[in-house]
Amino acid sequence: MLRLMWFLPILLLFSGCPASPLETVSDDDLMNLIRTEKYVIVYFTKKDCEQCDAIENELVHLREDLVDSLGAWVVKALNSQMVRLYSPNKEPALIFFRQGIPLLYDGLAKFDDEKLLQTFTDNKEPVVKELTDDTFEHLTQASSGATTGDWLIMFYSTDCVDCQRMGALWEAVGAELKQKMNVARVNKQTTGASTGRRFNVFDVPSFILFRQGKMYRYQIPKYDVKSFVSFAKDWWKNAHGEKVPVPQSPFDDFTLLIANFLRENPWVMKLGSITIGVLVIVSVASKLRRKSEAPLKKEK
């Protein structure tokens, strides 16, 4: 009994100790984790940031639940250069990697541990679908307005840096709209080039909501989760609705390809005009020369 009474204060002392902080990883270690582990939760933070420290304390207490429910690594990256790849607002940012595919958590401003845990648990698999020229019409049924529901689609290209940085944010949009509509993306530079031409998508990133046979272009300057979700749910009513064009025939698509090429390369038109002008001048000069030489031959 005396031994127990002696040990009890020590037990109480250790039980009152704060939980250990999140493990800090370098960018190289983080990239290795993302490549090799199925689930990785990364908290991007910076020095001398009170908000960052407060959020980290919340995550420390939630870490055990995240590990138990997801089997995820929970780490932090301090002043990381990688944050700009995933978060438009930089630190603080919380990213959930699922087999390398990032999901930006959009609720750090009002930290809610239950909402965070529910969001990650419900989205252990990527939400955003990848559509191509071969699958677009079959899956969306955009021109017929049939039974597959509404589709919010981002058009991007491989060489667009801003598009690549929106990957985690677009997954967050998909998570928010998961029970309401489909969220997808199309690479208009490669596998979705014909689809991009079909909808007159010239700039990237571009966003279109397809709903009941009509399309509504997102022309709001804000690229954040709340704005996209608001547009998809209700704000589309303020946008101009266009009838969805039917799929193009190969000939029509080829015509559009040429038209788009000339639009994107106006110098070709100028060069062509100059070339035609030179040919006309040469042709006229040649005819005039032949006419002037004809009387001389007759005199001889």
Average pLDDT of the residues of the chain: 86
Instruction: Return the pLDDT at 186.
Output: 98
Minimum mean pLDDT among 2-11, 224-233, 240-249, 270-279: which range? 2-11
pLDDT in tens, 119-139: 999 999 999 999 999 999 999
Does the pLDDT at position 252 exceed 90? no
Angle value at C-alpha 255, between 253 and 258, nearest 5 degrees: 110
pLDDT in tens, 53-76: 999 999 999 999 999 999 999 999
Instruction: Return the pLDDT at 201.
Output: 96
Confidence of residue 169 (pLDDT cuts 50, 70, 90): very high
Q: What is the CATH number of domain 18-122?
A: 3.40.30.10
Instruction: Return the pLDDT at 83.
Output: 95
For residues 137-165, average pLDDT = 92
**Helix spans in 37-96 (H):** 50-70
Nearest to 197 by CA among 80, 160, 206, 11: 206
Token digits of residue 288: 């005039």
Does the pLDDT at position 89 exceed 80? yes
Confidence of residue 2 (pLDDT cuts 50, 70, 90): very low
Instruction: Return the pLDDT at 12.
Output: 38
Compute the residue count for the chain.
300
The DSSP-derived string for 205-258 is SEEEEEETTEEEE---S--SHHHHHHHHHTGGGGSPEEEPPPPPPHHHHHHHHH
Domains 18-122 and 129-251 share a fold: yes
- Say if domain 129-251 classifies as CATH 3.40.30.10: yes
Angle value at C-alpha 157, between 213 and 190, nearest 5 degrees: 80
Instruction: Give the residue with greater pLDDT, 6 vs 267.
Output: 267
pTM score over 0.95: no
Q: Measured between alpha carbons, how far is 244 from 141 in angstroms, rounded to an integer?
A: 10
Instruction: Give the residue with greater pLDDT, 251 vs 91.
Output: 91
The most distant pair of C-alpha atoms in the chain lies apart, rounded to whole Å, by: 142
Spans of all domains in the chain: 18-122, 129-251
Instruction: Return the pLDDT at 20.
Output: 76
